[in-house]
Structure 1
Protein backbone atom coordinates (compact mmCIF):
# COMPACT_ATOMS: atom_id res chain seq x y z
CA UNK A 1 0.00 0.00 0.00
CA UNK A 2 2.83 2.35 0.90
CA UNK A 3 4.57 1.60 -2.39
CA UNK A 4 1.33 2.31 -4.29
CA UNK A 5 0.87 5.70 -2.62
CA UNK A 6 4.52 6.59 -3.13
CA UNK A 7 4.32 5.68 -6.81
CA UNK A 8 1.16 7.67 -7.56
CA UNK A 9 1.64 10.67 -5.27
CA UNK A 10 5.35 11.34 -5.42
CA UNK A 11 4.51 14.34 -7.61
CA UNK A 12 3.08 16.12 -4.55
CA UNK A 13 6.60 17.06 -3.43
CA UNK A 14 7.49 18.39 -6.90
CA UNK A 15 6.81 22.16 -7.35
CA UNK A 16 6.84 21.72 -11.14
CA UNK A 17 3.96 19.26 -10.84
CA UNK A 18 1.91 21.84 -8.91
CA UNK A 19 2.53 24.41 -11.62
CA UNK A 20 1.39 21.83 -14.20
CA UNK A 21 -1.72 21.11 -12.11
CA UNK A 22 -2.65 24.80 -11.82
CA UNK A 23 -2.04 25.38 -15.52
CA UNK A 24 -4.08 22.33 -16.48
CA UNK A 25 -6.97 23.31 -14.17
CA UNK A 26 -7.13 26.77 -15.75
CA UNK A 27 -6.92 25.29 -19.23
CA UNK A 28 -9.64 22.72 -18.51
CA UNK A 29 -11.92 25.42 -17.08
CA UNK A 30 -11.41 27.59 -20.17
CA UNK A 31 -12.09 24.62 -22.46
CA UNK A 32 -15.24 23.91 -20.45
CA UNK A 33 -16.69 27.32 -21.36
CA UNK A 34 -17.62 26.00 -24.81
CA UNK A 35 -19.51 23.09 -23.30
CA UNK A 36 -21.16 25.30 -20.70
CA UNK A 37 -22.49 27.81 -23.25
CA UNK A 38 -24.05 24.99 -25.27
CA UNK A 39 -25.65 23.43 -22.17
CA UNK A 40 -27.00 26.81 -21.01
CA UNK A 41 -28.64 27.63 -24.33
CA UNK A 42 -30.08 24.14 -24.73
CA UNK A 43 -31.52 23.78 -21.21
CA UNK A 44 -33.09 27.25 -21.32
CA UNK A 45 -35.48 25.86 -23.94
CA UNK A 46 -36.86 23.35 -21.40
CA UNK A 47 -39.69 24.01 -18.92
CA UNK A 48 -38.29 25.91 -15.94
CA UNK A 49 -38.61 23.06 -13.44
CA UNK A 50 -36.50 20.77 -15.65
CA UNK A 51 -33.64 23.14 -16.41
CA UNK A 52 -31.51 22.66 -13.30
CA UNK A 53 -31.82 18.83 -13.29
CA UNK A 54 -30.95 18.75 -17.00
CA UNK A 55 -27.85 20.91 -16.43
CA UNK A 56 -26.71 18.77 -13.52
CA UNK A 57 -27.30 15.60 -15.48
CA UNK A 58 -25.45 16.93 -18.52
CA UNK A 59 -22.45 18.19 -16.53
CA UNK A 60 -22.43 15.07 -14.36
CA UNK A 61 -22.35 12.97 -17.51
CA UNK A 62 -19.42 15.08 -18.74
CA UNK A 63 -17.52 14.31 -15.53
CA UNK A 64 -18.23 10.57 -15.74
CA UNK A 65 -17.29 10.53 -19.41
CA UNK A 66 -13.97 12.27 -18.78
CA UNK A 67 -13.08 10.02 -15.86
CA UNK A 68 -13.87 6.94 -17.95
CA UNK A 69 -11.77 8.30 -20.80
CA UNK A 70 -8.89 8.90 -18.38
CA UNK A 71 -9.16 5.28 -17.28
CA UNK A 72 -8.69 4.25 -20.91
CA UNK A 73 -5.97 6.78 -21.60
CA UNK A 74 -3.85 4.36 -23.64
CA UNK A 75 -6.80 3.99 -26.03
CA UNK A 76 -7.39 7.76 -26.15
CA UNK A 77 -3.77 8.38 -27.13
CA UNK A 78 -4.22 6.01 -30.08
CA UNK A 79 -7.08 8.20 -31.36
CA UNK A 80 -4.45 10.66 -32.56
CA UNK A 81 -2.88 8.10 -34.90
CA UNK A 82 -3.85 8.57 -38.60
CA UNK A 83 -6.27 5.97 -39.96
CA UNK A 84 -6.38 7.22 -43.56
CA UNK A 85 -4.95 9.99 -45.71
CA UNK A 86 -6.96 12.40 -47.85
CA UNK A 87 -5.62 15.40 -49.80
CA UNK A 88 -2.24 14.90 -48.18
CA UNK A 89 -3.59 15.04 -44.61
CA UNK A 90 -3.68 12.02 -42.32
CA UNK A 91 -7.04 11.86 -40.54
CA UNK A 92 -7.21 10.27 -37.09
CA UNK A 93 -10.29 9.22 -35.14
CA UNK A 94 -9.85 12.38 -33.06
CA UNK A 95 -9.98 14.46 -36.25
CA UNK A 96 -13.16 12.73 -37.40
CA UNK A 97 -14.79 13.20 -34.00
CA UNK A 98 -13.87 16.90 -33.96
CA UNK A 99 -15.22 17.39 -37.50
CA UNK A 100 -18.48 15.62 -36.64
CA UNK A 101 -18.85 17.65 -33.44
CA UNK A 102 -18.04 20.87 -35.28
CA UNK A 103 -20.61 20.16 -37.98
CA UNK A 104 -23.21 19.43 -35.31
CA UNK A 105 -22.42 22.70 -33.52
CA UNK A 106 -22.60 24.70 -36.76
CA UNK A 107 -25.94 23.09 -37.63
CA UNK A 108 -27.33 23.61 -34.12
CA UNK A 109 -26.14 27.22 -33.82
CA UNK A 110 -27.44 28.10 -37.31
CA UNK A 111 -30.83 26.55 -36.52
CA UNK A 112 -31.10 28.41 -33.20
CA UNK A 113 -30.07 31.71 -34.83
CA UNK A 114 -32.83 31.20 -37.41
CA UNK A 115 -35.34 30.50 -34.65
CA UNK A 116 -34.22 33.60 -32.74
CA UNK A 117 -34.39 35.89 -35.77
CA UNK A 118 -37.67 34.46 -37.10
CA UNK A 119 -39.54 32.93 -34.11
CA UNK A 120 -42.90 32.87 -35.95
CA UNK A 121 -41.48 30.36 -38.41
CA UNK A 122 -41.33 27.57 -35.83
CA UNK A 123 -44.14 28.34 -33.38
CA UNK A 124 -45.86 25.07 -34.15
CA UNK A 125 -42.74 22.90 -34.10
CA UNK A 126 -43.15 21.86 -30.48
CA UNK A 127 -46.94 21.38 -30.62
CA UNK A 128 -47.94 17.82 -29.93
CA UNK A 129 -44.52 16.87 -28.50
CA UNK A 130 -44.34 15.73 -24.89
CA UNK A 131 -42.12 17.28 -22.25
CA UNK A 132 -40.29 13.95 -21.87
CA UNK A 133 -39.35 13.95 -25.54
CA UNK A 134 -38.04 17.52 -25.26
CA UNK A 135 -36.00 16.66 -22.16
CA UNK A 136 -34.73 13.47 -23.77
CA UNK A 137 -33.68 15.35 -26.90
CA UNK A 138 -31.83 17.96 -24.82
CA UNK A 139 -29.98 15.31 -22.81
CA UNK A 140 -29.04 13.42 -25.98
CA UNK A 141 -27.57 16.54 -27.59
CA UNK A 142 -25.70 17.44 -24.40
CA UNK A 143 -24.19 13.94 -24.19
CA UNK A 144 -23.21 14.10 -27.85
CA UNK A 145 -21.27 17.33 -27.37
CA UNK A 146 -19.94 16.10 -24.01
CA UNK A 147 -18.20 13.29 -25.88
CA UNK A 148 -16.54 15.66 -28.35
CA UNK A 149 -15.39 18.15 -25.72
CA UNK A 150 -14.33 15.37 -23.33
CA UNK A 151 -12.05 13.72 -25.88
CA UNK A 152 -10.50 17.09 -26.75
CA UNK A 153 -10.10 17.85 -23.03
CA UNK A 154 -8.39 14.54 -22.23
CA UNK A 155 -6.02 14.74 -25.20
CA UNK A 156 -5.09 18.27 -24.05
CA UNK A 157 -4.44 16.92 -20.53
CA UNK A 158 -2.23 14.14 -21.91
CA UNK A 159 -0.16 16.73 -23.74
CA UNK A 160 0.32 18.77 -20.53
CA UNK A 161 1.49 16.14 -18.04
CA UNK A 162 2.34 12.46 -17.61
CA UNK A 163 0.86 12.26 -14.09
CA UNK A 164 -2.53 10.58 -14.22
CA UNK A 165 -3.41 11.89 -10.72
CA UNK A 166 -2.92 15.47 -11.90
CA UNK A 167 -5.24 14.81 -14.86
CA UNK A 168 -7.95 13.41 -12.56
CA UNK A 169 -7.73 16.35 -10.16
CA UNK A 170 -7.78 18.92 -12.99
CA UNK A 171 -10.83 17.31 -14.64
CA UNK A 172 -12.75 17.06 -11.35
CA UNK A 173 -12.01 20.69 -10.42
CA UNK A 174 -12.89 21.98 -13.90
CA UNK A 175 -16.21 20.10 -14.03
CA UNK A 176 -17.04 21.27 -10.48
CA UNK A 177 -16.52 24.87 -11.61
CA UNK A 178 -18.80 24.17 -14.60
CA UNK A 179 -21.45 22.78 -12.26
CA UNK A 180 -21.32 25.86 -10.01
CA UNK A 181 -21.36 28.29 -12.95
CA UNK A 182 -24.04 26.54 -15.06
CA UNK A 183 -27.20 27.99 -13.49
CA UNK A 184 -25.91 31.59 -13.03
CA UNK A 185 -24.70 31.63 -16.64
CA UNK A 186 -27.96 30.17 -17.96
CA UNK A 187 -30.01 32.69 -15.94
CA UNK A 188 -27.86 35.56 -17.21
CA UNK A 189 -28.32 34.43 -20.81
CA UNK A 190 -32.08 34.07 -20.34
CA UNK A 191 -32.49 37.54 -18.79
CA UNK A 192 -30.49 39.23 -21.55
CA UNK A 193 -31.89 38.29 -24.99
CA UNK A 194 -29.03 39.96 -26.86
CA UNK A 195 -26.60 37.64 -25.05
CA UNK A 196 -28.38 34.67 -26.63
CA UNK A 197 -27.39 35.81 -30.11
CA UNK A 198 -23.83 36.47 -28.94
CA UNK A 199 -23.62 33.03 -27.36
CA UNK A 200 -24.96 31.41 -30.53
CA UNK A 201 -22.29 33.29 -32.48
CA UNK A 202 -19.70 31.84 -30.08
CA UNK A 203 -21.03 28.33 -30.72
CA UNK A 204 -20.86 28.91 -34.46
CA UNK A 205 -17.25 30.04 -34.16
CA UNK A 206 -16.36 27.12 -31.90
CA UNK A 207 -17.94 24.69 -34.37
CA UNK A 208 -15.88 26.14 -37.23
CA UNK A 209 -12.66 25.89 -35.20
CA UNK A 210 -13.42 22.25 -34.37
CA UNK A 211 -13.87 21.52 -38.09
CA UNK A 212 -10.66 23.40 -38.92
CA UNK A 213 -8.77 21.51 -36.19
CA UNK A 214 -10.06 18.20 -37.51
CA UNK A 215 -8.93 19.18 -41.01
CA UNK A 216 -5.42 19.86 -39.77
CA UNK A 217 -5.64 23.67 -39.48
CA UNK A 218 -5.08 24.35 -35.79
CA UNK A 219 -6.42 27.69 -34.57
CA UNK A 220 -4.77 28.75 -31.27
CA UNK A 221 -7.36 28.79 -28.49
CA UNK A 222 -6.03 32.13 -27.28
CA UNK A 223 -7.29 33.86 -30.42
CA UNK A 224 -10.73 32.30 -30.03
CA UNK A 225 -11.17 33.23 -26.38
CA UNK A 226 -9.70 36.70 -26.92
CA UNK A 227 -12.34 37.31 -29.62
CA UNK A 228 -15.06 35.94 -27.32
CA UNK A 229 -13.84 38.10 -24.44
CA UNK A 230 -13.73 41.25 -26.59
CA UNK A 231 -17.23 40.58 -27.94
CA UNK A 232 -18.53 39.98 -24.43
CA UNK A 233 -16.91 43.24 -23.25
CA UNK A 234 -18.52 45.23 -26.07
CA UNK A 235 -21.91 43.65 -25.33
CA UNK A 236 -21.45 44.42 -21.63
CA UNK A 237 -20.87 48.08 -22.49
CA UNK A 238 -24.00 48.03 -24.68
CA UNK A 239 -26.02 46.56 -21.82
CA UNK A 240 -24.69 49.23 -19.45
CA UNK A 241 -25.57 51.98 -21.95
CA UNK A 242 -29.11 50.61 -22.40
CA UNK A 243 -29.59 50.35 -18.63
CA UNK A 244 -28.48 53.94 -18.07
CA UNK A 245 -30.69 55.14 -20.91
CA UNK A 246 -33.73 53.39 -19.40
CA UNK A 247 -32.99 54.80 -15.95
CA UNK A 248 -32.59 58.29 -17.45
CA UNK A 249 -35.93 58.01 -19.24
CA UNK A 250 -37.57 56.86 -16.01
CA UNK A 251 -36.27 59.88 -14.09
CA UNK A 252 -37.56 62.28 -16.74
CA UNK A 253 -41.04 60.74 -16.98
CA UNK A 254 -43.70 63.08 -15.51
Structure 2
Protein backbone atom coordinates (compact mmCIF):
# COMPACT_ATOMS: atom_id res chain seq x y z
CA UNK A 1 0.00 0.00 0.00
CA UNK A 2 1.45 3.39 -1.02
CA UNK A 3 1.52 6.57 1.06
CA UNK A 4 -1.54 8.12 -0.60
CA UNK A 5 -3.60 5.02 0.07
CA UNK A 6 -2.47 4.97 3.69
CA UNK A 7 -3.44 8.62 4.16
CA UNK A 8 -6.92 7.87 2.82
CA UNK A 9 -7.37 4.78 4.98
CA UNK A 10 -9.09 5.48 8.36
CA UNK A 11 -7.80 2.16 9.66
CA UNK A 12 -4.23 3.31 9.05
CA UNK A 13 -4.83 6.46 11.12
CA UNK A 14 -6.29 4.41 13.96
CA UNK A 15 -3.27 2.10 13.81
CA UNK A 16 -0.92 5.12 13.80
CA UNK A 17 -2.53 6.76 16.85
CA UNK A 18 -2.62 3.45 18.73
CA UNK A 19 0.99 2.70 17.90
CA UNK A 20 2.18 6.21 18.86
CA UNK A 21 0.49 5.87 22.26
CA UNK A 22 1.97 2.41 22.70
CA UNK A 23 5.47 3.57 21.76
CA UNK A 24 5.26 6.56 24.11
CA UNK A 25 4.18 4.31 26.98
CA UNK A 26 6.96 1.82 26.23
CA UNK A 27 9.40 4.73 26.12
CA UNK A 28 8.66 5.64 29.76
CA UNK A 29 10.94 2.84 30.94
CA UNK A 30 13.80 4.09 28.79
CA UNK A 31 13.22 7.70 29.83
CA UNK A 32 13.31 6.93 33.56
CA UNK A 33 16.61 5.12 33.16
CA UNK A 34 18.12 7.95 31.10
CA UNK A 35 16.93 10.57 33.62
CA UNK A 36 18.43 8.79 36.64
CA UNK A 37 21.68 7.98 34.87
CA UNK A 38 22.31 11.44 33.44
CA UNK A 39 21.54 13.10 36.79
CA UNK A 40 24.72 11.47 38.10
CA UNK A 41 26.80 13.43 35.58
CA UNK A 42 28.11 16.97 36.21
CA UNK A 43 25.31 19.49 35.48
CA UNK A 44 27.00 20.86 32.36
CA UNK A 45 27.05 17.38 30.76
CA UNK A 46 23.51 16.23 31.54
CA UNK A 47 21.55 17.90 28.77
CA UNK A 48 24.01 16.75 26.10
CA UNK A 49 24.00 13.18 27.45
CA UNK A 50 20.19 13.05 27.32
CA UNK A 51 20.08 14.35 23.75
CA UNK A 52 22.78 11.92 22.63
CA UNK A 53 21.13 8.99 24.41
CA UNK A 54 17.67 9.68 22.99
CA UNK A 55 19.14 10.48 19.57
CA UNK A 56 20.90 7.11 19.57
CA UNK A 57 17.59 5.49 20.51
CA UNK A 58 15.97 7.07 17.45
CA UNK A 59 18.81 6.04 15.12
CA UNK A 60 18.78 2.53 16.52
CA UNK A 61 15.02 2.10 16.14
CA UNK A 62 14.96 3.49 12.61
CA UNK A 63 17.88 1.22 11.75
CA UNK A 64 16.07 -1.79 13.18
CA UNK A 65 12.95 -0.89 11.18
CA UNK A 66 15.09 -1.31 8.07
CA UNK A 67 15.83 -4.88 9.11
CA UNK A 68 12.33 -6.01 10.04
CA UNK A 69 12.80 -9.41 8.41
CA UNK A 70 15.81 -10.01 10.64
CA UNK A 71 14.04 -8.60 13.72
CA UNK A 72 11.10 -10.97 13.25
CA UNK A 73 13.54 -13.91 13.09
CA UNK A 74 14.78 -12.98 16.58
CA UNK A 75 11.63 -14.61 17.94
CA UNK A 76 12.49 -17.99 16.41
CA UNK A 77 13.58 -20.59 19.03
CA UNK A 78 17.33 -21.21 19.30
CA UNK A 79 17.42 -23.94 21.93
CA UNK A 80 15.41 -25.51 24.72
CA UNK A 81 16.15 -25.94 28.43
CA UNK A 82 13.85 -28.24 30.40
CA UNK A 83 11.20 -27.84 27.73
CA UNK A 84 11.44 -24.04 27.67
CA UNK A 85 12.42 -22.63 24.27
CA UNK A 86 14.64 -19.55 24.11
CA UNK A 87 15.07 -17.16 21.18
CA UNK A 88 17.46 -14.28 20.60
CA UNK A 89 14.71 -11.93 21.75
CA UNK A 90 14.37 -13.87 25.01
CA UNK A 91 18.12 -13.77 25.63
CA UNK A 92 18.26 -10.03 24.93
CA UNK A 93 15.34 -9.38 27.29
CA UNK A 94 16.93 -11.48 30.03
CA UNK A 95 20.29 -9.74 29.63
CA UNK A 96 18.64 -6.31 29.61
CA UNK A 97 16.53 -7.19 32.63
CA UNK A 98 19.57 -8.38 34.59
CA UNK A 99 21.41 -5.18 33.66
CA UNK A 100 18.48 -3.05 34.85
CA UNK A 101 18.16 -4.98 38.12
CA UNK A 102 21.91 -4.61 38.70
CA UNK A 103 21.92 -0.87 37.98
CA UNK A 104 18.81 -0.17 40.05
CA UNK A 105 20.11 -2.23 42.98
CA UNK A 106 23.48 -0.49 42.82
CA UNK A 107 21.86 2.96 42.77
CA UNK A 108 19.57 2.08 45.67
CA UNK A 109 22.60 0.89 47.63
CA UNK A 110 24.40 4.15 46.92
CA UNK A 111 21.32 6.12 47.96
CA UNK A 112 20.90 4.43 51.34
CA UNK A 113 24.58 3.95 52.18
CA UNK A 114 25.98 6.61 54.49
CA UNK A 115 29.26 6.57 52.57
CA UNK A 116 29.37 9.27 49.93
CA UNK A 117 29.99 7.32 46.71
CA UNK A 118 31.87 9.59 44.38
CA UNK A 119 34.31 7.20 42.80
CA UNK A 120 33.37 8.42 39.33
CA UNK A 121 34.23 12.01 40.26
CA UNK A 122 37.53 11.52 42.11
CA UNK A 123 39.98 14.16 40.95
CA UNK A 124 37.28 15.94 38.93
CA UNK A 125 39.70 16.25 36.06
CA UNK A 126 38.68 16.51 32.40
CA UNK A 127 39.68 12.91 31.73
CA UNK A 128 37.54 11.63 34.62
CA UNK A 129 34.55 13.66 33.47
CA UNK A 130 34.96 12.38 29.95
CA UNK A 131 35.15 8.78 31.18
CA UNK A 132 32.02 9.30 33.30
CA UNK A 133 30.17 10.79 30.32
CA UNK A 134 31.28 7.96 28.03
CA UNK A 135 30.21 5.35 30.58
CA UNK A 136 26.77 6.92 30.82
CA UNK A 137 26.36 6.93 27.03
CA UNK A 138 27.43 3.27 26.77
CA UNK A 139 24.94 2.24 29.46
CA UNK A 140 22.17 4.25 27.80
CA UNK A 141 23.04 2.59 24.49
CA UNK A 142 22.77 -0.89 26.03
CA UNK A 143 19.28 -0.22 27.36
CA UNK A 144 18.32 1.57 24.13
CA UNK A 145 19.06 -1.66 22.27
CA UNK A 146 16.90 -3.76 24.59
CA UNK A 147 13.96 -1.36 24.59
CA UNK A 148 14.30 -0.70 20.85
CA UNK A 149 14.05 -4.39 19.94
CA UNK A 150 11.02 -4.79 22.22
CA UNK A 151 9.48 -1.64 20.72
CA UNK A 152 10.01 -2.73 17.11
CA UNK A 153 8.66 -6.23 17.69
CA UNK A 154 5.57 -4.64 19.29
CA UNK A 155 5.19 -2.33 16.29
CA UNK A 156 5.49 -5.22 13.82
CA UNK A 157 2.76 -7.05 15.72
CA UNK A 158 0.39 -4.08 15.49
CA UNK A 159 0.73 -3.04 11.85
CA UNK A 160 2.34 -4.37 8.66
CA UNK A 161 2.94 -0.88 7.22
CA UNK A 162 6.49 0.42 7.55
CA UNK A 163 5.61 4.16 7.12
CA UNK A 164 3.23 3.93 10.09
CA UNK A 165 5.96 2.34 12.20
CA UNK A 166 8.46 5.04 11.22
CA UNK A 167 6.08 7.91 12.04
CA UNK A 168 5.14 6.29 15.36
CA UNK A 169 8.77 5.77 16.36
CA UNK A 170 9.76 9.33 15.44
CA UNK A 171 6.75 10.74 17.32
CA UNK A 172 7.48 8.66 20.43
CA UNK A 173 11.18 9.58 20.50
CA UNK A 174 10.28 13.27 20.01
CA UNK A 175 8.03 13.09 23.08
CA UNK A 176 10.91 11.45 24.98
CA UNK A 177 13.25 14.25 23.91
CA UNK A 178 10.81 16.96 25.07
CA UNK A 179 10.07 15.23 28.37
CA UNK A 180 13.62 14.15 29.25
CA UNK A 181 14.90 17.34 30.89
CA UNK A 182 11.70 18.25 32.81
CA UNK A 183 11.47 14.68 34.13
CA UNK A 184 15.16 14.58 35.09
CA UNK A 185 14.90 17.95 36.86
CA UNK A 186 11.77 16.84 38.71
CA UNK A 187 13.48 13.63 39.86
CA UNK A 188 16.54 15.58 41.02
CA UNK A 189 14.46 18.07 43.02
CA UNK A 190 12.58 15.31 44.84
CA UNK A 191 14.84 12.69 46.46
CA UNK A 192 11.91 10.39 47.30
CA UNK A 193 11.02 10.29 43.59
CA UNK A 194 14.51 8.94 42.89
CA UNK A 195 13.87 5.92 45.11
CA UNK A 196 10.44 5.43 43.54
CA UNK A 197 11.93 5.59 40.05
CA UNK A 198 14.62 3.07 41.02
CA UNK A 199 11.86 0.81 42.31
CA UNK A 200 10.19 1.15 38.90
CA UNK A 201 13.43 0.13 37.20
CA UNK A 202 13.70 -2.93 39.45
CA UNK A 203 10.15 -3.91 38.54
CA UNK A 204 10.77 -3.32 34.83
CA UNK A 205 13.98 -5.36 34.99
CA UNK A 206 12.17 -8.24 36.71
CA UNK A 207 9.44 -8.03 34.07
CA UNK A 208 11.97 -8.22 31.24
CA UNK A 209 13.55 -11.30 32.83
CA UNK A 210 10.14 -12.93 33.26
CA UNK A 211 9.28 -12.18 29.62
CA UNK A 212 12.57 -13.74 28.56
CA UNK A 213 11.64 -16.92 30.41
CA UNK A 214 8.27 -17.06 28.68
CA UNK A 215 6.16 -15.63 31.50
CA UNK A 216 4.01 -12.94 29.92
CA UNK A 217 3.27 -10.03 32.24
CA UNK A 218 0.55 -7.72 30.85
CA UNK A 219 2.04 -4.26 30.42
CA UNK A 220 -1.20 -2.71 31.65
CA UNK A 221 -0.64 -4.16 35.11
CA UNK A 222 2.89 -2.81 35.25
CA UNK A 223 2.00 0.72 34.21
CA UNK A 224 -1.11 0.73 36.42
CA UNK A 225 1.10 -0.16 39.40
CA UNK A 226 3.55 2.57 38.42
CA UNK A 227 0.75 5.12 38.06
CA UNK A 228 -0.75 4.18 41.44
CA UNK A 229 2.65 4.42 43.16
CA UNK A 230 3.29 7.80 41.52
CA UNK A 231 -0.15 9.01 42.70
CA UNK A 232 0.56 7.93 46.29
CA UNK A 233 3.95 9.68 46.20
CA UNK A 234 2.30 12.83 44.77
CA UNK A 235 -0.14 12.84 47.68
CA UNK A 236 2.79 12.45 50.09
CA UNK A 237 4.55 15.39 48.43
CA UNK A 238 1.44 17.57 48.74
CA UNK A 239 1.11 16.53 52.39
CA UNK A 240 4.74 17.38 53.17
CA UNK A 241 4.42 20.71 51.38
CA UNK A 242 1.24 21.61 53.29
CA UNK A 243 2.88 20.71 56.63
CA UNK A 244 5.96 22.78 55.77
CA UNK A 245 3.79 25.79 54.89
CA UNK A 246 1.75 25.44 58.07
CA UNK A 247 4.93 25.15 60.13
CA UNK A 248 6.42 28.23 58.48
CA UNK A 249 3.17 30.12 59.01
CA UNK A 250 3.02 29.09 62.64
CA UNK A 251 6.63 30.11 63.16
CA UNK A 252 5.94 33.51 61.63
CA UNK A 253 2.93 34.07 63.89
CA UNK A 254 4.97 33.07 66.94
CA UNK A 255 7.67 35.63 66.10
CA UNK A 256 5.01 38.37 65.96
Q: Which TM bucket (shorter chain)?
A: over 0.9
**Divergent runs of 4+, >2 A:** 6-9, 121-126
**Alpha-carbon distance between aligned partners in 2 of 1:83 and 1:107, rounded to the nearest angstrom:** 26
Q: Give the match for residue 29 of structure 2.
A: 34
How has the CA–CA distance of structure 1 residues 121 and 53 changed in structure 2, closer, same or farther, with 3 Å as cutoff? closer
Secondary structure in 1 aligned to 2:2? helix
Q: Where do 1:32-181 residues align within 5 Å?
A: 32-120=27-115, 122-124=117-119, 126-128=121-123, 130-181=128-179
The Cα offsets for residues 194-252 of structure 1, whole Å up to 9 and x where unpaired, read as: 00000000000000000000000010000000000000000000000000000000001
Q: How many pairs are equivalent?
A: 249
Q: Give the match for residue 250 of structure 2.
A: 252
1:17 CA drift (Å): 1.0
Secondary structure in 2 aligned to 1:122? coil
**Alpha-carbon distance between aligned partners in 2 of 1:131 and 1:121, rounded to the nearest angstrom:** 18
Alignment equivalent of 2:222, drawn from 215, 224, 233: 224
**Alpha-carbon distance between aligned partners in 2 of 1:228 and 1:72, rounded to the nearest angstrom:** 33
Does 1:182 pair with 2:180? yes
1:51 CA drift (Å): 0.3
**Alpha-carbon distance between aligned partners in 1 of 2:180 and 2:172, rounded to the nearest angstrom:** 12
**Alpha-carbon distance between aligned partners in 1 of 2:119 and 2:137, rounded to the nearest angstrom:** 22
Alignment equivalent of 2:239, drawn from 226, 238, 241: 241
Q: Give the match for residue 3 of structure 1.
A: none
1:57 CA drift (Å): 0.2
1:122 CA drift (Å): 2.7
Q: Where do 1:5-20 residues align within 5 Å?
A: 7-20=2-15
Secondary structure in 2 aligned to 1:162? coil
Q: Give the match for residue 204 of structure 1.
A: 202
Given the two structures, how large is their TM-score scaled by the length of structure 1? Answer: 0.96
**Alpha-carbon distance between aligned partners in 2 of 1:60 and 1:125, rounded to the nearest angstrom:** 24
1:9 CA drift (Å): 3.8
**Alpha-carbon distance between aligned partners in 2 of 1:57 and 1:138, rounded to the nearest angstrom:** 10
The Cα offsets for residues 124-172 of structure 1, whole Å up to 9 and x where unpaired, read as: 5642471000000000000000000000000000000001000000000
Over the residues paired in the alignment, what is the CA RMSD in angstroms?
A: 1.1
Q: Is the 8 A contact 1:9 1:165 kept in 2?
A: no
Identify unmatched segments of 5+ residues in structure 1. Answer: 1-5
Identify unmatched segments of 5+ residues in structure 2. Answer: none
Given the two structures, how large is their TM-score scaled by the length of structure 2? Answer: 0.95
Q: Is the 8 A contact 2:120 2:132 kept in 1?
A: no
